[in-house]
Chain A
Amino acid sequence: MRGARLVAVRELRETVRDPNLVLPLVLMPCLIGVLAGVSTFASFGSGPSGVGTAVTNAALDRLPAAAAEHLSNLPTTNRDATIETLLKAFSIPLFWVIPVALTPALAADSFVGERERSSLEPLLATPIGTSQLLLGKLAASVIPAAAGTWLGVLVFWGMTLLSQSTLYPRLLLADGDWLISLLVVAPLVALFTASVAALLSTRVSGYRVAYQLNGLIVLPVVLLLIPATAFLFLFTSAALWYVAALFAGVDVAIVAWANSLFDREHLMSSR
């Protein structure tokens, strides 16, 4: 793993010195954190009398009792607890958009950009293994994207504290579901995007093409948010683990595939 660590550290060092990469890494999570916070502020900020609370209560009132019995994640007696569960189910997957949105630029720059700048050949002419190289580059894409997600959640947490809403835990990051999302799911989502970028890099020649193609990944992942939210709200608090397992499985498969294609001959020839 030494080679992978060296590559990752070197790439991260370059990333933090590139304003074109750093600005989106900071601005985009802050924007999502603020927007999520503002909407929550507006809808639920005033507690039980807020618009969001009123609408949710009305929806829950119309829920057939027979259906409610089968929805295991709904607290049966405490309506505020139900709304808290709903807010969490909506908020947590929202932040998975951040790694999906941030990783394409980082990964395209790392994989295809390096080849375009002709800096890949000297590196490939060293004894470093291509698996190490791949892992290092994946780490260099995943780490900033995961850090961006954490930043976004921190901003969101700040907004919830500012709103003084009783519907959010005071220590958002002490909540188990938020922690699983931040420490497990978000990096796995970032790894998914980065490994797809690694796969694409063996097929495309230019940074712009790679970036555009990577961007297409955003859509299916965003579509995943809807079932994930419903699952988390209605059925089980273990939904996050299912999502994590899904991404972990897909990640392993794609990384293995990318690794099989990631050989020197291929990288030198695919132009």
Chain B
Amino acid sequence: MIIIILSPFIITACFIGVIVLILTDKLNRAIAALAGAVVTYFVLIFIENFTFAIIVNLLFGTQDDDYVNLHSFILIIAMMIIVLISNEAGLFQFIAVKLIILSHGKPIRLMIIFCIITVVISAVLNNILTVIILIPLTITISRILNIDPTPYILTQAVLVNIGGTIFSISSIPNILITTYAKISFTEFFLNVGLISLIVFGFTLIFFILLYKKELVIPPGGAEILKEFDVWNFVPNKTLLIQSMISFIVLITLLIIIPSSIITPDIIAITIATFLMIISRLNPKEIITKIDLELIFYLIGIFIIAGAMEVTGVTDAIAVIMSNIGGEDILTEILLILWVSAFLSSSIDNIPITRVLIPVIDNMPVSNDPNTKNLTFYSLAIGANWGDNLTPLGDNILVVNIAEQHKRPISFKKFFKLGFITTVYQLTIVSLIFILIFQFAFGMILILTVFLSISIIYLLYKSNPKTIGLKIDKLINKFRALIIR
């Protein structure tokens, strides 16, 4: 009896230990995950009496699950190579500055362009690389335009996560989810990508209303901005064109070829290999730049999370979540959305996603093939967007980069904007889910919000000197609360 409880207990403790080590920054995340994997190995071999084959199965998947983990690894590595070469070609900076120049120094237009660039770039790059490219560039642009970059940096940091849910290849959690649940590229985009774009639109409106009084650009800067030579980001034009074409071909092939014929990872690795050959870059340089830390981290997490599955821990979590959510599908989906968001706010979203995938698969709600994928969509959104609820994780990097470039931003400002925006975004997604499952109730909720806004607007217009002034004061107080 003790032995039956012992393994799940050790493995759960191991998982929590790895999370704590990463959270407290006591140990490098790859080393922490590998250490956890080593402990897991001993538990599985000496307590559970498995053979070494179990480790191979946990790492790469089995024939039954169609080697799901191996497909994830190949897709992640292939995307890394394509992104590395495109970055060498200066593709992302080139596109960004080209678009920024189109703003003609108009503050709101600049804010919109910065937000669009962030979402577009983070739709193909991981969040860390996106902020490493965009934040210094934003600060440089702000130096030319003679403006405070804080509103732009803060909004970019928040929107990076929205870009992460546009495509199935936009983030590691998406790759893990879509490979496991066999969700195609198009299917993911039509269900999660489009929701993300809708929420992006609402977020953009929110940001403009929030910052419109702060966004002032002194005259003259726009003219200087035009003098910024975008070709200075490009080492050679041929490489730029090659990487642009590669991205277009990749997206096109992912859309038109069903994964039952060629899986997305094979499409991506084919393009990555081809690009490496035609780019004439030194392959050794590219290979040494591949993020091995992430690969080792994933190896460790795959083994620990897989062991949690084998020893029945994920089944137990699934039972608990099902009991909380009851029989109602909508409640279960909303529960997955908010729980995954709050968990990934302080814990890295990769282990959270990896553990929650089998949990969701084991929940009764996933038995219905019509609603099964909705639970995975909910997980993808929650795990990606929850990051902004706290200024931890990737967001620390944003603050550090801003400080390195002598434009420090406070954690307090970041936390206030990130928390409020994320709650606002998750509420919109919840409303969309409510509309899908309970259309009438969802419509009542939307109409109530719309009606309240209309009444406030009419009151504002009917009596601008008294009620209007009070509403103005309230709005300004709310704005000041978030941005000051």
Whether chain B is bound by chain A comes out as no
Residue ranges of B at the interface with A (Cβ–Cβ < 8 Å): none
Chain A positions near chain B (C-beta within 8 angstroms)? none
